[in-house]
């Protein structure tokens, strides 16, 4: 009987299976196949994604790298909640020996920092607003099913479609999220965020994630939502984002005149359990 050791973690309910690379190597499986198997909530462990740290495969500008897979076996360029979990795991398991370090991802170099209060702050880099780099090919209005939405396309290393609304964000995410995720305007599909502004310092957000569906939280989505709110003059530059799984905090000093500013995501990362999984 072949088994591998794994760790289950979550950031605001956005949950991940983390497997050290030597443990993964025992499986003899392709990573996308393992992700689909192990993330299955009925026949596997159950998770929104799978993370495999890699201490050796990174360029000289990074301290460590990761492999990140969604539950459907697709890769994602970045994941903010996953990065917080990864940062805590890497430090606690001595894969890295400092509390502020750099991680090579498909979205470039990302820099997490473990704060003294137990939260993790991640420099998520600069938002991308140029259509062809998101990538996005279309208008700022999108019609799906029986409704037309004003949209704000943003990339945080992965594509996002932010929709600001006065309606119930969860109802909209459930009904329209699957249609917008695969809309022709987004050639690589997209994450879809429905945002309700509560004040100039607080928003509610519900998300339909690309490759996952409805999730309890999305860190890159929280960042993209704040960027859209700031650019539409709806919030200040420091915002509490209420997700289904709990709050995160996003800081961005950008504006319409200067979008070339790093965005920071601050939130928790928690262990759920350690286990051996039977392949």
Domain ranges of the chain: 3-120+269-278, 131-261
Q: Is the pLDDT of residue 114 over 80?
A: yes
Model confidence pTM above 0.85: yes
Q: Please state the CATH superfamily assignment of the domain spanning residues 131-261 in this structure.
A: Diaminopimelate Epimerase; Chain A, domain 1 (3.10.310.10)
CA distance 275 to 279: 13
Say which CATH topology domain 3-120+269-278 has. Answer: Diaminopimelate Epimerase; Chain A, domain 1 (3.10.310)
Please provide the distance, in angstroms rounded to a whole number, between the alpha carbons at the two ends of the chain.
8
How do residues 160-169 score in pLDDT, each as one tens digit?
A: 999 999 999 9
The alpha carbon dihedral of 191, 91, 18, 267 has a sign of negative
Active site residues: 79, 218
Predicted local confidence at residue 76, as pLDDT: 87
Nearest alpha carbon to residue 98 among 142, 59, 64, 144: 64
* Interatomic CA distance for residues 47 and 128, integer angstroms: 28
Pair 271, 8: CB distance under 8 Å = yes
**Do 3-120+269-278 and 131-261 show the same overall fold?**
yes
Label the pairing between strands 270-278 and 3-11: antiparallel
Q: How far is CA 26 from CA 3, 5, 16, 19, 87, in A?
A: 8, 10, 20, 11, 24
Residues 67-102 have pLDDT tens digits of 999 999 999 889 999 999 999 999 999 999 999 999
- Mean pLDDT, rounded, for 111-120: 96
């Amino acid at each position: 009987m072949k088994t591998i050791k794994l760790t289950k973690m979550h950031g605001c309910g956005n949950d991940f299976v983390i497997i050290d690379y030597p443990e993964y190597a025992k499986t003899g499986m392709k990573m996308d196949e393992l992700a689909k198997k192990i993330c299955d909530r009925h026949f596997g462990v159950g998770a929104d994604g799978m993370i495999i740290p890699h201490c050796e495969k990174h360029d000289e500008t990074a301290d460590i790298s990761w492999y990140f897979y969604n539950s459907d076996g697709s890769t994602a360029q970045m994941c903010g909640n996953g990065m917080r979990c990864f940062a805590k795991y890497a430090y606690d398991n001595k894969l890295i020996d400092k509390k502020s370090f750099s991680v090579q991802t498909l979205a470039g170099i990302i820099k997490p920092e473990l704060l003294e209060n137990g939260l993790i702050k991640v420099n998520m880099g600069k938002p991308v607003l140029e259509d062809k780099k998101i990538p996005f090919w279309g208008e700022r209005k999108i019609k799906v099913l029986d409704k037309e939405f004003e949209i704000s396309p943003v990339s945080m290393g992965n594509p996002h479609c932010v929709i600001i609304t006065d309606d119930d964000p969860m109802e909209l995410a459930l009904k329209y999220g699957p249609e917008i995720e695969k809309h022709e305007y987004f050639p690589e599909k997209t994450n879809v965020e429905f945002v309700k502004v509560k004040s100039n310092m607080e928003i509610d957000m519900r998300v339909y994630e690309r490759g996952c569906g409805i999730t309890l939280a999305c860190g890159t989505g929280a960042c993209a939502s704040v960027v859209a709110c700031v650019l539409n003059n709806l919030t200040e530059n420091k915002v509490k984002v209420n997700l289904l799984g709990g709050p995160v905090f996003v800081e961005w000093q950008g504006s319409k005149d200067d979008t070339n500013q790093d965005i920071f995501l601050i939130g928790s990362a928690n262990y759920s359990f350690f286990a051996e999984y039977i392949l």
